[in-house]
Chain A
Amino acid sequence: DTAVSQTPKYLVTQMGNDKSIKCEQNLGHDTMYWYKQDSKKFLKIMFSYNNKELIINETVPNRFSPKSPDKAHLNLHINSLELGDSAVYFCASSQVGNRDTQYFGPGTRLTVL
C-alpha cells in the first residue's frame, strides 16, 4: 500500500543514453516534485507540478524533462545522460492546505557509466 512509489529502484546505463523514471502517488495529492540527491547527500529540488502544471523549474539542464500525464503521476525523462547525472532521484507529493508536509518516494539510484 505504498503512498509514493518510483520505478525503477536502480538504473545503470551508459553515457549518452535516454532514460525515464516513473513516479506514482496514491494519496490523492495535487502537487508532485522531483528532487536530486548527489553523492554528498545534498538534496535539491528540480521541478514541481500542481494539477499537471509546471510550478517550479530550477536551473536544471533541458535534457531533463518532467511529464505529468495526470495528477497521480510525474515522470522524469533524461536525454543524453552524462556522468554528472549519477545521483538518487526522489519523487515527492503534497496536498493543498498541507503543502509543508511532503511525502517522499523511496528513490531511484541512477548510475551513469
Chain B
Amino acid sequence: AQSVTQLDSQVPVFEEAPVELRCNYSSSVSVYLFWYVQYPNQGLQLLLKYLSGSTLVKGINGFEAEFNKSQTSFHLRKPSVHISDTAEYFCAVRASYNTDKLIFGTGTRLQVFP
C-alpha cells in the first residue's frame, strides 16, 4: 500500500518570496507522483507529475518539484509566489502498476500575503 505525508498543514508566505511545500511518501513498489492544486471553491487541477526520467519536473504557473527516491520525497517549489497562488496543494501517489488509484495527502494550505 502507498501513503503520503504532507508535513505542513499551512504555509504562510509573503508575495515574491520563495516557497517549498513538503511531501513524503511511503511505498513498497515503484510509484508515480503528483501535485494538484485546489483554488477556493473549485475542483483540483494537476500542477505537475513525475512518471520517469528527469527527477526535476516543471509544471504550470512556475512550479517545479524534485523526486528524491532515497529520501522518498517530492517537494514542490516556486522561486517567487504571487497572491493568486493562494490555494490548497495536494501531493498524491499511485503505484506504477495501478492505472487509476491515486492516494492523496492531507493537503497544505499556501497563504500568500501582500
Q: Which residues does A use to contact B, with CB under 8 Å?
A: 4, 31, 33, 40-45, 48, 50, 55-56, 90, 92, 94, 99-107
Contacts of A41 in B (CB 8 A): 88, 106-107
Contacts of A31 in B (CB 8 A): 100
* Beta-carbon nearest neighbor of A94 in chain B: B100
- Kindly supply a per-residue 1/0 record for chain B positions 59-92, scoring 1 wherever the CB is within 8 Å of any chain A CB and 0 otherwise: 0000000000000000000000000000010100
Q: 22 A-B pairs, CB-CB below 8 angstroms?
A: A31-B100, A41-B88, A41-B107, A42-B104, A42-B106, A43-B44, A43-B104, A45-B102, A48-B100, A48-B101, A55-B100, A56-B100, A56-B101, A99-B99, A100-B34, A100-B49, A101-B46, A102-B102, A104-B36, A104-B45, A106-B42, A106-B43
* Beta-carbon nearest neighbor of B50 in chain A: A100
How many residues of B are in contact with the other chain, CB < 8 A?
21
- Counted as pairs of residues, one from A and one from B, with CB atoms less than 8 Å apart, the total is 53
Query: CA–CA, A55 to B49, complex, Å?
Result: 23
Contacts of B42 in A (CB 8 A): 106-107
Contact present for A92 and B99 (CB under 8 Å)? no
Query: CA–CA, A44 to B105, complex, Å?
Result: 9
